[in-house]
Amino acid sequence: MAIPEPTTARLKLVNPDLSHVDPLAELFSDREVMKFIGIGKPWSRAQVEARIERGMGLNADGLPYFWTVTLADTGEVMGQAGVVPIHFDGAEIELGYRLGLKYWGHGYATEAAEGAMQCAFAGADTGGLGFERLVAVTYPDNHPSRRVLSKLGFREVGMSDKYYGVESLLHERLRG
């Protein structure tokens, strides 16, 4: 299955390719951007490249990976947002997003995540991915991200140490 590429009023979410490595590596080398991602450290160019290659592999297998978020007007790369299959104690689909610092505070994360979520829940008959349930995990101190999820209708389930080996706050939303 070809992976769809959602668009929103201001953004185009595009499937990852190697031309995104350099701009994303620049955005994700920032300590402030990465402090609530994984173990909280900036990513090297090699780490970004490995993730993009993994995403391209998932897409080739008909599975989604975080889209590269671009500004529709200019095509500039702003970050990533999307849904990705995860497997900790069961198969789940995770919604995630991360934008370069200069793009914060303009509603872009909400817009990108909403476009990703709509595509994730839409049925294959309307060009969507047809998932029933999405999860998201945040550090409890990441109030902007918790706010984004709340605006998208996610429910805070509670703390869990199941994801990524760190105690984090689990959110979920069902299609509907």
Ligand X SMILES: CC(C)(COP(=O)(O)OP(=O)(O)OC[C@H]1O[C@@H](n2cnc3c(N)ncnc32)[C@H](O)[C@@H]1OP(=O)(O)O)[C@@H](O)C(=O)NCCC(=O)NCCS
Give the H or E element holding residue 112: helix 108-121
CB 38 within 8 A of CB 164: yes
Q: Which of 107, 123, 127, 140 binds ligand X (CB under 6 A)?
A: 107
**Contact region for ligand X (CB under 6 A) — 17-25, 84-92, 104-112, 123-131?**
104-112
In the β-sheet with 155-160, what is the strand arrangement from edge to edge? 11-14, 67-71, 77-87, 91-99, 133-138, 168-174, 155-160
Min dist. Cβ of residue 5 to ligand X (A): 20
Q: Which of 13, 77, 83, 99 binds ligand X (CB under 6 A)?
A: 99
| 148 in contact with ligand X (CB under 6 A) | yes
In terms of Cα–Cα distance, which of 70, 29, 76 is closest to 49? Answer: 29
Min dist. Cβ of residue 96 to ligand X (A): 6
Q: Which residues make up the interface to ligand X (CB under 6 A)?
A: 33, 36-37, 97-99, 104-110, 138, 142-145, 147-148
